[in-house]
Structure formats: C-alpha cells, structure tokens
Copies of this chain bind each other. A is one copy, B any other.
Amino acid sequence: MSGKILIVDDLAINRIILKVKLAAACHDSLQAACGQDALAAARAQRPKLILLDMMLPDISGIDVCRQIRADPQTRDIPVVIITASSDRTRRLEALAAGADDFLTKPLNEAILLARIRNLLRTRETEAELRLRAATCRELGFSDAGGRFDAPGRIALIAADPATAMSWRGALAPLVYDRLDLLTPQEALTGADGRAAPDLYMIAANLGHQGDGLRLLADLRSRLASRDAAISLVVPAAESETAAMALDLGANDLLTLPFDPQETALRLRLHIQRKRRAEQLRRQVDDGLKLAITDPLTGLFNRRYAMAYLDRMANRTGQAGTPYALMVLDLDRFKSINDRHGHAAGDTVLRSVAERIRATLQPGDLLARIGGEEFLVALPDATAPRARQTADALCDAVASAPIALAGRPEAVCVTVSVGLAMGRAGGCAQEVLFRADSALLSAKAGGRNRVTVGASAA
C-alpha cells in the first residue's frame, strides 16, 4: 500500500481543494481525472483510501466502485463517494456498489477528516487480522461467504419508546434481522438473556447531550459488545457530534431525518462486515490450534509434547514428584505402508492412536512425535502404576486386528514400549533419552513388549 489517498474528480479545481485539505491533515494524495485512470491508479498504487466523485466523464463513480470491489487486489480499499447531487436513487446505488460512505457537497471538513480517520483505523485493524488469517487460508480453511447473510439481531436504542417504535415500524418491512427495542441499561447489561446484538443503532441524543456517545464508548469497553457494529443516529446539523462518534469508534452514521431504505442497506452492510471480522478472528484461533496438533490423529504433535515435558519436569513447588515417560513405536510399520499403501498405514495410525487414548487417564499426555512413534507422559505416576499402564497399552494395541476400509484383510499390529521414570526438578531430555534406549531394547528383545529403562544416575 502506498499510504496515499486517491482523489478522483474530473475538475482540477476540486482535486486541488481536496489535496490541500488532506495535506493540512498530513495525508499524501494521488489524483485521477476519470474512472479508467482511477482504476489503474487503485491497482498500481494501492492507495489507503479513495475519495471518488460520482460524476466522471468516462464511467460513473458507482461503476468504478463496483470494479474496485470486484478485484481482489483492490477490494479492501475504503471508498468514500462524493457528489453534488442529492439524488436518492444514486445514493442507494453507491451503497449497494460497496461504497463505505457517501458524502454530499459542500463537504463538512470535520466530518470528512473524521470519516477518513475512522475508515483508516478500521482498515488497519482488518488488514492485521486478514494477514494472520491468511496463514489459515493457506491451510485450506474455507472462506465461505454464505453465512454472512444469515439474519442478525439489531438493537434499537432511542431517547424514548415512541421514537424506537417508529424506527422499528419503518425498518421492519425492509430488513430480515430481528429488531429489538432496548434501553441503554439493557444494552449494557445484556439483561434480556439473548445473544448480544450484531448491531446497535443508537440515538446520539438519549435525553441528555452526549449520552449516545457515552453509550457508544461504554459498549466498546464491554466484552459482549466490543466487536459489534454500532451506528449512531445524528441530526444533520450536529456535525461535531458526528465527527466525535466516528472517532469514538462508531461504524456508521445515520443522519436524521432518516431514509428507511438507505438505513436498511447500511445496517445490512455493517452486520456483514462485523461477521467477516468475526470469521477472521475464528480462523486465527483455529490456525493457532493447528500449531500444536498432529493432523492425522488429532493428537498433540511433537512440538507441543517437548514443550510439555519441559513444563512438567520444571513444576515449581513439586520437585521430587515422580513421573513416567513412555516412547511407543509401532512394530514393522514400514511393511504395512509398503504392502497396503499409505492410506492403509494412516488408518492403522489413527486406530492405534485411538486405542492408546482410550487406555489412558484424562490427565495423561499423549502425542504423536514421529511417523509411527508416540509419546505418553504420566505426570504423577509411581513406577508400578507406570509399568501397569505400559503393559495395558501393549495389550490394547494388539487386542484385535485393525480393519482397513474397502479391503477384506485386517492388519495385526503390535507396539514396543520404552519406559523411564523421572522426577520433577530434573532434566526431561535425559529421561526421554532413557525411554528411547529402553525402546531399542524392547525392539531387540523381540518387540510387542515393555522395557523399563535404567533409573536416573
């Protein structure tokens, strides 16, 4: 991204006026005089925001906006459409085309600059999330879009019930989201027991001057509403309140007297955005979970197991507590892969993992630490209990042949186990080394058996 704002207007004087205003607010700008130039500049320069005149000599500003949204290279750039006309149909078209906002000339400078700050802040936050979630998309997580359209819940918060009811009356035929009338108290406490609203539509003036802004700040500080969309309803003349609402983190402004159709469009837009951000956050969390999981068996992976061993060995205040480590290795696994193919080998690994898991207690650690190698840690085990568990694991794996999908034959597998005891406060790697050596003895001794390693020196 270039860090510049792209000004699109066919009149040079308009471009210059905007450029000067932006420069005074320390924003560098680029200019384009027609739609084609605007699209080329958006792609080549990746501006941080676009101020787009509605009337252009070649293609309309609305078409430019639509094309910007359609191109993955440019679709995340905020677009504010500016026009001298107050044609309602055009406004609705602009919003439907994906414009973030729509400002009418003459421009109110305070609102323009606050809107720019607001969109840039949102963009940076989303860009950071997207960057993180990109790792997860590379892992093939679906980026499904369908659910963004599911009905949501909108809270209507006005100074008095009559106003809120009139909002609901006007919006109900136009939105398919649930519309609930809430008091500020209900909004803050979530006292009605329902899921938190996706969007709060709040009158700027809730009885006292500034109450709506305070409610906005308060909702942003509470867990249930901090990531919700918030639209402030502001009388047209109160430009200072409008600018402040944007700086306090409102997602949108609805100007009074309000146009139900435009409002419905804006509400839907912001519910969708909120859901998209929610999905990105979920993807980041899922990606983090993958960092510690073995994808084939769903067990913890080697990385997690090694970090866990160190934590277990270094338990504070519990020095001396005995623990057991076991390294389990499938016997002659290579021949299963070679004879029956990798898919059969994977089935065997999953079945063995499941048999081991079913034999262990909830507090025990089970990880897959190599191709056919598993690690078991019993954090508080005595030597006799550990030996008993190890024998039970051997038996569980060998208990019955493992069926292979779509094949008549089943495979008999066994496992060799190296067991070693350690004590909290010592070195886990040394215990693991002893367990590994014991495993080699178990293999040499004929497989399908447990060998207990030497005690710590």
Contacts and interface: CB of A to CB of B under 8 A. Distances in A.
Given A221-B121, A248-B248, A370-B371, A303 B292 contact: no
A288 B135 contact: yes
28 contacts: A3-B223, A26-B188, A26-B189, A113-B214, A117-B217, A117-B218, A118-B221, A120-B221, A120-B222, A121-B221, A132-B284, A135-B289, A135-B291, A138-B304, A138-B307, A139-B303, A139-B304, A140-B306, A140-B307, A213-B247, A248-B248, A284-B284, A290-B291, A291-B291, A295-B302, A338-B440, A370-B371, A371-B371
A63 interface: no
A226 interface: yes
Describe A's contact surface by its main secondary structure: helix
A418 to B, nearest CB: 11
Could you say which of A25, A303, A341 has the most chain B C-beta atoms within 10 Å of its C-beta? A303
List 7 A-B pairs, minimum CB-CB distance, nearest first: A371-B371, A140-B307, A26-B188, A290-B291, A117-B221, A217-B247, A121-B221
Contacts of A443: 338
Interface string A226-244: 1000000000000000001
Contacts of A3: 223
Could you say which of A334, A342, A440 has the most chain B C-beta atoms within 10 Å of its C-beta? A342
A310 interface: yes
A140 to B, nearest CB: 3
A388 interface: no
Given A223-B124, A370-B371, A292 B217 contact: no
A248 B246 CA distance: 10
Contacts of A361: none
Contacts of A140: 306-307, 310-311
A397 to B, nearest CB: 19
A308 interface: yes
A181 interface: no
Contact of A303 (B226, B290, B311): B290
Contacts of A341: 436
A302 B368 CA distance: 14
Interface string A113-125: 1101110110010
Given A284-B132, A371-B371, A139 B302 contact: no
Give the bracket for the number of chain A residues in contact with chain B: 35 or more
A329 B223 CA distance: 51
Contact of A248 (B185, B247, B304): B247
B218 A25 contact: yes
Contacts of A426: none
Contacts of A419: none
Contacts of A217: 114, 117, 247
A287 interface: yes
A338 B439 CA distance: 10
A376 interface: no
Nearest to A110: B214
Interface in A326-355: 334, 338, 341-342
Contacts of A244: 244
Could you say which of A291, A295, A302 has the most chain B C-beta atoms within 10 Å of its C-beta? A291
Contacts of A214: 113, 247
A124 B226 contact: yes
A402 B244 CA distance: 67
A325 interface: no
Nearest to A295: B303
Contacts of A306: 140
B292 A139 contact: yes
Interface in A194-226: 213-214, 217-218, 220-223, 226
B295 A287 contact: no
Contacts of A160: none
Given A26-B188, A135-B289, A135-B292, 5 more contacts: A124-B226, A140-B307, A217-B247, A288-B291, A370-B371
